[in-house]
Structure formats: C-alpha cells, structure tokens
Amino acid sequence: MPLALLPFLLLVIPIMEIAVFIAVGKEIGLWPTLAMVLATAVMGSLLLRHQGFRLLGEIRSKMEAGALPGRALVHGVMLLLAGILLLTPGFVTDFCGFLLFVPPVRDWIWAAISKRIDIQFMGGSANQTPNASPHGDDGRGRIIDLDESEFRPSDPNSPWRGK
C-alpha cells in the first residue's frame, strides 16, 4: 500500500462510518444501533481470543516439529488486525474485521500480497560466516589459535609486537 493512500483512507473511512451510522440509526434507532456496535466489539474480542489461542497452539506444534510456522504467523497478524478493526466502533470496520476471521479470506489476502514480499531466512549465530562450521573452520583454511606464551614475533622491531 503506497503511503500516499494512507491520508486518503484516514479521511474516507470515518466518513463512511458516519454515513453508515446515520443510515442504520434511521432504520432501527439510536439505542439498537449503539447496542449493535457494542455487541460486535464483544463478539470480536471473544472470536479473537478463541482463534488466537488455537493459532498459538498451531505455531507451537509447528516449531516443536522443526517446521517454520510462516502461514500461522501471517494468520496471527491478520487476526490481530481483525481484533483492532472490531474494537474500532463502526459497521464498516466491523465488516472488514469479521472477514479477516474467515481462514479462506486470510489465505486469499496472503496469496495476493505474498507475490510482492521477498521472504528471507537467516539462521545460525551472528559470529559465523556462511560456510563456517561450529568447530571454527570458516572454509578458508586451517585456523591455529595460539596463546601469547606460545608465540614470539620473529622481528623485535615489528609494529605488531606487543608493548
């Protein structure tokens, strides 16, 4: 999403929410409209809790099996977004939030945006080179580790001589 679109959305979404509030309020009245907004927030938080715990279990089991939980992590981010949308008062954001609770919708969104994302995996520790073994061989030759008492410089005038 281009950043130029963000101010547009921040202006359009509240205007859409107000228009829908007015339309629903005219049809069913003020108090039922407010009750619906509160009910969707409560339902959304309950759904988020239920699906969130299920998703955490899926992530945990995949990691214990040694697999990367990529899909589960993406679904977790989308569920978090769904929860935020449902806690935001309004029918438009509630509709979008409830859509994100449907796994096929999340899969479709991921398929649409994953083409634009470059995923890289980095493993190992920070002090190893790409070809390094855990025994200190970095693929460039033999490494000899000497203590100060085991090595004497051959030239006493060497700038590398300890002072």
Q: CA distances (Å), 100 to each of 1, 153, 154, in order?
A: 18, 68, 71
Q: Residue ranges of the domains in the chain?
A: 14-114
What would the pLDDT profile of 59-116 be if each residue is shown by its tens digit? 888 888 887 777 788 888 898 889 888 888 889 999 999 999 898 999 998 888 877 7
Rounded CA-CA distance 58/73 in Å is: 10
Rounded CA-CA distance 68/64 in Å is: 10
| pLDDT at residue 19, as a whole number | 94
- The vertex-148 CA angle with 143 and 149, nearest 5°, equals 115
CB 70 within 8 A of CB 76: no
| pLDDT at residue 139, as a whole number | 61
- By C-alpha distance, which of 145, 144, 141, 138 is closest to 124? 138
- Which helix H or strand E contains 34, and what residues bound it? helix 30-64
- The arithmetic mean of pLDDT across residues 7-15, rounded, is 88
